[in-house]
Structure 1
């Protein structure tokens, strides 16, 4: 679970609903003081939300980029459904395409963290035209490691039979969020507003995702692969190999693990800006 340092957006960002052809999505929309040099759409990972990118927003806007962080369908402040079919990967990818179209800022730099990276690449494979680049942050070529598959199965089974509150209590017993400045209450509130059907469906996707690297290469977009020095969801050597196969720009963020966006936001923002500036 990503743990943002705060749930309060910086002054450069406003929380709003983004109307799209596929419904409204909750976003944090951060704009630079002048004309944007480009627009970035930031897609969060499993159990995450737009707040996972809060610490990136100010440095990205200071570099001249508009950055829009989004809650996906059934995540935190975006509406969901009990129907698991709406969380099929292609459906979530079509949501990303609709979000990019609604930003009306020209080709968008698309960034996906973890699960968000796999949804983002699915969007690119449906239609690469709306995007200037694709950044895969802590997101691997295929399914997560076996230990994570086991955790996802346990969590999915629990979500099918227990309340969200009871599942939260069980998770905190194993992994207390004490190190987060939010003290855990904001994390709990976010968890309770995630739709269980979304978590079950996307958890299964993470455990069964096929390797689509060759398809991404064929799409022809510039790709940036970012990770921390360590990662317990996809091993860093696996991410390294993926970057080579993609012919991608590769950045390892020193001192970060699975969430460079929260672990080392200044360094991560600098790497993103350097990549975008170089295109």
Structure 2
């Protein structure tokens, strides 16, 4: 596919759960690619990838997930479990008229993508997971590897009801520090603005309060690209290298040296090229 200039569109995707906000690019009849963002971000973290793939003729869509879209922001943390999150992916795809699509996720979005690939392989053409390892490899690493256990303590700490106040204090200083000065300041400002809206940060943290997938996820059969960066503060090498054991379909592992957790925005061109190559094969 050649690349041409494309315009990013703003969409409202109507589902039974409510309206999900989204960005999109590319021809309506292009091969569909769906992007899932992580915490504490939004669909706009994928602006570069959506624009480039849209220009290559794909129909690229990234949506603000449950809790991040004001139109789908349930009150109780139990409504943020993995079944609901995976259900949202399928509901958005159905609303877009996609019976089969490529799925790309980063951070929490990658955790959802792994589960969607395991539970609904017939709906996915390919999977690309960025940063987050296969949930089973991650769970095993937390139990067996002291380094990963220490890296993951924040997941328990963030379930506290005082987390919102700590993260938003002093112009959201703690929230801003998470990005390690690797994300453009304008994007950080946008994420802080969104999560400072009433109820927004609580909804995002409810993903942690609802728990994480782990032992129940089996091997993934769809063609998979897993991208991990050596300076990722959340996920260490044990889980990253262990992910290969949990993919039985065609598998490609890419390790990015000297790159932080924020891969899509720190090295957008590198990641977009990897995704495009994976889709092409």
TM-score, with normalisation over the residues of structure 1? Answer: 0.81
Counterpart in the other structure of 1:262: 265
Counterpart in the other structure of 2:124: 131
Cα distance change of structure 1 residues 212 and 235 upon mapping to structure 2, 3 Å threshold: farther
Q: In the alignment, is the contact (CA less than 8 A) between 2:53 and 2:276 conserved in 1?
A: yes
Aligned partner of residue 80 in structure 1, secondary structure? coil
2:9 equivalent to 1:14: yes
Deviation, structure 1 residue 121? 2.2
Q: In the alignment, is the contact (CA less than 8 A) between 2:22 and 2:61 conserved in 1?
A: yes
Deviation, structure 1 residue 235? 1.0
1 CA distance for matches of 2:179 and 2:253? Answer: 32
Q: 1:202 pairs with 200, 207, 213, which one?
A: 207
Cα distance change of structure 1 residues 61 and 183 upon mapping to structure 2, 3 Å threshold: closer
Aligned length: 263
Judge which range, 192-201 or 167-176, deviates more: 167-176
2 CA distance for matches of 1:199 and 1:116? Answer: 12
Mapping of residues 16-35 of structure 1, within 5 Å: 16-32=11-27, 35=29
1 CA distance for matches of 2:237 and 2:71? Answer: 32
Counterpart in the other structure of 2:94: 101
2 CA distance for matches of 1:99 and 1:159? Answer: 32
2 CA distance for matches of 1:187 and 1:118? Answer: 20
Aligned partner of residue 40 in structure 2, secondary structure? coil
1 CA distance for matches of 2:71 and 2:255? Answer: 31
Cα distance change of structure 1 residues 129 and 183 upon mapping to structure 2, 3 Å threshold: closer
Deviation, structure 1 residue 256? 2.5
TM-score, with normalisation over the residues of structure 2? Answer: 0.81
Counterpart in the other structure of 1:62: 55
Judge which range, 158-167 or 241-250, deviates more: 158-167
Deviation, structure 1 residue 130? 1.9
CA RMSD of aligned residues (A): 2.9
Cα distance change of structure 1 residues 58 and 168 upon mapping to structure 2, 3 Å threshold: same
Counterpart in the other structure of 1:3: none
Aligned partner of residue 241 in structure 1, secondary structure? helix
Q: How far does the alpha carbon of each residue in 1:65-114 deviate from its partner, in whole angstroms, 9 at most, with x for none?
A: 11101111101545302122211111111111111212224411011111
Q: How far does the alpha carbon of each residue in 1:1-59 deviate from its partner, in whole angstroms, 9 at most, with x for none?
A: xxxxxxxxx95211121112332111001114x852x1111011122210111121222
Q: In the alignment, is the contact (CA less than 8 A) between 2:33 and 2:61 conserved in 1?
A: yes
Counterpart in the other structure of 1:5: none
1 CA distance for matches of 2:164 and 2:29? Answer: 50
Q: In the alignment, is the contact (CA less than 8 A) between 1:100 and 1:130 conserved in 2?
A: no
Unaligned runs of 5+ in 1: 1-9
1 CA distance for matches of 2:280 and 2:179? Answer: 39
2:46 equivalent to 1:42: no
Q: In the alignment, is the contact (CA less than 8 A) between 2:77 and 2:210 conserved in 1?
A: no
1 CA distance for matches of 2:235 and 2:181? Answer: 25
